[in-house]
Amino acid sequence: MSASPDVTATAKPLSAHRSNGRGRATTAGAKRARGTTADRAVRKWPYINRELSWLEYAGRVLFEAGDDRNPILERINFLTIFASMLDEFFQIRIAGLRQQVHAGRATTSPDGRSSAEQLAAARERVLELVAEHSAIWADIRRALAGADIGIVKYASIPDHHAALRQRFIDEIYPVLTPLAVDPGHPFPYISTLSLSIAVGLRDPETGESGFARVKVPQILPRLFEVEPHRFVLLDQIIEANLDLLFSGMEILEHHLFRVTRNADLAIEEDEADDLLMAIEEELRRRRFGEAVRLEVERSMPVATREILLHGLGLGDDDAYEIRGMLDLTGLRQIADLDRPDLKSKPWTPVTPARLAPPDEDDPADVFAAIRTNDLLVHHPYESFVASIERFIAQAVDDPEVLTIKMTLYRTSGDSPIVQNLIRAAERGKQVVVLVEIKARFDEEANIVWARKLEQAGAHVVYGLVGLKTHSKVCLVVRREGSGLRRYVHIGTGNYNPKTARLYTDLGLLSCRPELGADVTDLFNVLTGLSRQKTFRRLLVAPHSLRSRFLELVDREIAHAAVGHQARIVVKLNALVDQPSIDALYRASQGGVRVDVIARAACSLLPGVKGVSDNIAVRSTVGEFLEHSRIWGFANGGETEWYIGSADLMDRNLDRRVEAMVPVEDGDARARIGEIIETMLEDDRRSWALGPDASWQRVEVINGHPGTSDVHEVLRQRAIASTATATTPHRPRAGVGSLDPRA
């Protein structure tokens, strides 16, 4: 395995212009993330603030929007992803910090900041990101014009005004509801993430001024096409026809704004008689959550902004001026245009060689393939449909299958997985589904699926009180010979065929008896009154996962102390759990080499002399969203790999049901080692975290453009694996090892 880049190297600051394909050090953000020298002096270990680290991840996503090496419509897609990410950050993280401030809680974050200090630092970084976001959009608009795509201003297309006015009358006017604000009309409720127009009015008969709000309907498209691939904004059409809404009034001004509200659910599960009903009631209340952000056009006068802030119960620091278009999530219409010349070449996942059908009319026998030996599948390079969906579908159609049990955290709106479970229940098989109805922003969809499953005769449970069930496990019990055999799937990602084409995830299919027994016991914990806390092979949160991780780290420290091979690799979405970070610091001090691949937030600070000299941290952001969770331990030369659903966050380790599984098949372990090696060799999509808490692109540190794109390398490797079904790709010898000398 190649060494990670030296993140302690000093690199010169780069240009702030993001569209040149270079990543710059976020020096100001780094100082904010680390905290002050006085703060650090009173702490034993250094930590990066979680909220600020997450905002740096958002900045890495935004970089992709500004990178002109990406196709133009892919850049727009990154813009919309960034906008959605920032919305959720305010709905959940900023909302939580505001609640702590209002409650007068004196708690501090691991990096020594109060909630108020975190809010102030987050605002400072958000202002920078929002400005950059707007600048990148302006750059992309120019590039779109060169590709004969445009979002034009209403005023610039007078020849279309008559037709657009008629469309306004026919299609828009009937769904608009202007709401006045005066002593007889209190400040209206404004739904979260909706666009609104603030309208200043004057009655020409009395001379009295007035104020009204018009909601831009979310049920209508944001962009109206006036010519092929030429669009005008819905809000501009409404603004141009306000005279029809306010007949007899003089329109003094009109300005666009957008409100964000607290979207976190607050459920007292211990007091709820019916969890489903309690969540449905809380979902209704969530619509009226406290306002946390006001976005306004830069042209809005201070007086108008003050009316909105006062009506929403917000302060000046909760307002954000936006240059250009408000709410860039509306650009999905542009990103979805049928212009393949402006998009990345679409990827078609391959069928794993061992699951290749003998012929088109005779699908592969998944159970037979698993009986041969464990099967590791890697999405989206390998097909979710041809592996996991096929596994479930075969179980439904097989008369020898007696039972199917599954956890569902997030799935697609037209989920074939759920449809297959419904078919199985209707055929009389025992179907047990744990539907996590507390999965954030998927609560309503999961409630719908839960009811459909119940109506089909499936046993549906909603998990354990006080815990979210985030594990990705499936159990199939099949009659074979004179007994029963248990087949399991344990994965890192959701049972969602749509995200399986976009997220990188691993899944293990196995019929090892110990794993089958463990998954059976886990479902008994989830559905019954079993209080089992230890398992044969599985590591399960909130019981054994944290303690076992710490034991495995300590074991590497012990190996290093006597000169044995010692190395740790963790790949995850987030690393913010303080005890886990402290353990990795101890490992570094004990001479253990540690590689961290963290897609999003990382509170560990690498490269600090005497603390984390032996730790390297990197993040990969590109065409696919890195979602798999992997642990690797050299273990004195007997390398161990684990995959599963858990990030190293206190919520995953203490407040969720998570499952990590050891990978014991030799070929599967070698494949994981090869995946990790490829990620550490990537210099096109990866960023390195330095001891000053700044992120820089690896290609900038190396001083030349990147040549190894992990996503492209793994795509080509997947294609090569299907050359013949009888000779699947074999990882190079020794790749599965974590020899620190590699």
Q: For the domain 539-721, what is the CATH code? A: 3.30.870.10
User: With contact defined as beta carbons under 8 Å apart, do 199 and 214 qualify?
Assistant: yes
Average pLDDT over residues 30-43: 48
Q: How many CB atoms within 10 Å of residue 89?
A: 19
- Report how far residue 480's alpha carbon sits from residue 360's, in angstroms, rounded to the nearest whole number: 27
Q: How confident is the model at residue 276 (pLDDT cuts 50, 70, 90)?
A: confident
- The secondary element (H helix, E strand) that includes residue 559 is helix 545-561
Q: What is the pLDDT of residues 502-549, one digit of tens each?
A: 999 999 999 999 999 999 999 999 998 788 889 999 999 999 999 999
- Report how far residue 613's alpha carbon sits from residue 571's, in angstroms, rounded to the nearest whole number: 19
pLDDT at 107: 85
Q: For the domain 160-275+288-317, what is the CATH code? A: 3.30.1840.10
Q: What is the pLDDT of residues 705-718, one digit of tens each?
A: 989 999 999 999 99
CA dihedral 307, 312, 314, 320 (to 10 degrees): -70
Average pLDDT over residues 459-476: 92
User: With contact defined as beta carbons under 8 Å apart, do 468 and 491 qualify?
Assistant: no
User: With contact defined as beta carbons under 8 Å apart, do 59 and 29 qualify?
Assistant: yes
pLDDT at 464: 82
**Among 178, 114, 107, 139, residue whose Cα is nearest residue 16:** 139
Q: Is the pLDDT of residue 295 over 90?
A: yes
**Is residue 186 classed as helix, strand or coil in its secondary structure?**
coil
Is the CATH number 3.30.70.1150 carried by domain 18-147+338-342?
no
Q: How confident is the model at residue 1 (pLDDT cuts 50, 70, 90)?
A: very low
Q: How confident is the model at residue 94 (pLDDT cuts 50, 70, 90)?
A: very high
Average pLDDT over residues 4-32: 39
Domain ranges of the chain: 18-147+338-342, 160-275+288-317, 353-527, 539-721
Q: What superfamily does domain 353-527 belong to in CATH? A: Endonuclease Chain A (3.30.870.10)
pLDDT at 442: 76
- Distant-in-sequence, close-in-space partners of 293: CB < 8 Å, separation ≥ 6: 90, 94, 259, 260, 314, 318, 320
Q: Is the pLDDT of residue 608 over 50?
A: yes
More confident residue, 238 or 359: 238
Q: How many CB atoms within 10 Å of residue 251?
A: 14
Q: Write the CA distances from 257 to 215, 234, 260, 303, 669, integer angstroms.
A: 10, 14, 10, 14, 52
pLDDT at 533: 86
- Report how far residue 691's alpha carbon sits from residue 607's, in angstroms, rounded to the nearest whole number: 5
pLDDT at 19: 35
Question: Rounded to an integer, what is the distance from CA 397 to the centroid of its chain?
Answer: 34
- Distant-in-sequence, close-in-space partners of 591: CB < 8 Å, separation ≥ 6: 560, 561, 566, 614
Q: Is the pLDDT of residue 669 over 90?
A: yes
pLDDT at 722: 83
**Among 406, 626, 425, residue whose Cα is nearest residue 523:** 406
Q: Is the pLDDT of residue 274 over 90?
A: no
161: amino acid identity, one letter: H
338: amino acid identity, one letter: D
User: With contact defined as beta carbons under 8 Å apart, do 154 and 167 qualify?
Assistant: no
Q: How confident is the model at residue 242 (pLDDT cuts 50, 70, 90)?
A: very high
Strands 468-469 and 656-663: parallel
Q: How confident is the model at residue 27 (pLDDT cuts 50, 70, 90)?
A: very low
- The secondary element (H helix, E strand) that includes residue 238 is helix 234-240
Q: Is the pLDDT of residue 596 over 50?
A: yes
Mean pLDDT rounded to a whole number for the chain:
90
- Report how far residue 502's alpha carbon sits from residue 442's, in angstroms, rounded to the nearest whole number: 18
Question: Among 389-393, 432-436, 595-599, 728-732, where is mean pLDDT lowest?
Answer: 728-732
The count of residues in the chain is 742
Helix intervals (H) in 104-233: 115-146, 161-167
Q: Write the CA distances from 507 to 392, 499, 556, 672, integer angstroms.
A: 14, 14, 26, 11
Q: What is the pLDDT of residues 148-196, one digit of tens each?
A: 999 999 999 999 999 999 999 999 999 999 999 887 778 889 999 999 9
Which DSSP string do the residues of 624-689 spell out, in sequence order? SEE--EEEEE-GGG--EEEEES--BSHHHHHSEEEEEEEE--HHHHHHHHHHHHHHHH--SSEEEE
CA dihedral 494, 499, 503, 509 (to 10 degrees): 40
Q: Is the pLDDT of residue 741 over 70?
A: no
Equal fold, 18-147+338-342 vs 539-721 = no
pLDDT at 447: 85
For residue 261, the cross-strand partners are 291
**Is residue 621 classed as helix, strand or coil in its secondary structure?**
coil
Q: Is the pLDDT of residue 644 over 50?
A: yes
Q: How many CB atoms within 10 Å of residue 278?
A: 17
Percent of the chain clearing pLDDT 70 (strictly above)? 90
Average pLDDT over residues 555-578: 98
- Report how far residue 508's alpha carbon sits from residue 433's, in angstroms, rounded to the nearest whole number: 19
Q: How confident is the model at residue 265 (pLDDT cuts 50, 70, 90)?
A: confident
Structure tokens, 462: 């909603």
* Catalytic residue flag (residue 470): yes
Whether the full predicted model's pTM is greater than 0.85, yes or no, is yes
Average pLDDT over residues 9-34: 41
- Distant-in-sequence, close-in-space partners of 483: CB < 8 Å, separation ≥ 6: none
Q: How many CA atoms lie within 13 A of 698 on its CB side?
A: 25
Can you tell me which residue has the tokens 């119960």? 313
Q: How confident is the model at residue 287 (pLDDT cuts 50, 70, 90)?
A: confident
Q: Is the pLDDT of residue 15 over 80?
A: no
Q: Is the pLDDT of residue 98 over 60?
A: yes
- Report how far residue 199's alpha carbon sits from residue 196's, in angstroms, rounded to the nearest whole number: 10
User: With contact defined as beta carbons under 8 Å apart, do 232 and 223 qualify?
Assistant: yes
Q: Which residue among the candidates 254, 470, 559, 711 is catalytic per the annotation?
A: 470
Q: What is the pLDDT of residues 111-125, one digit of tens each?
A: 999 999 999 999 999
pLDDT at 643: 99
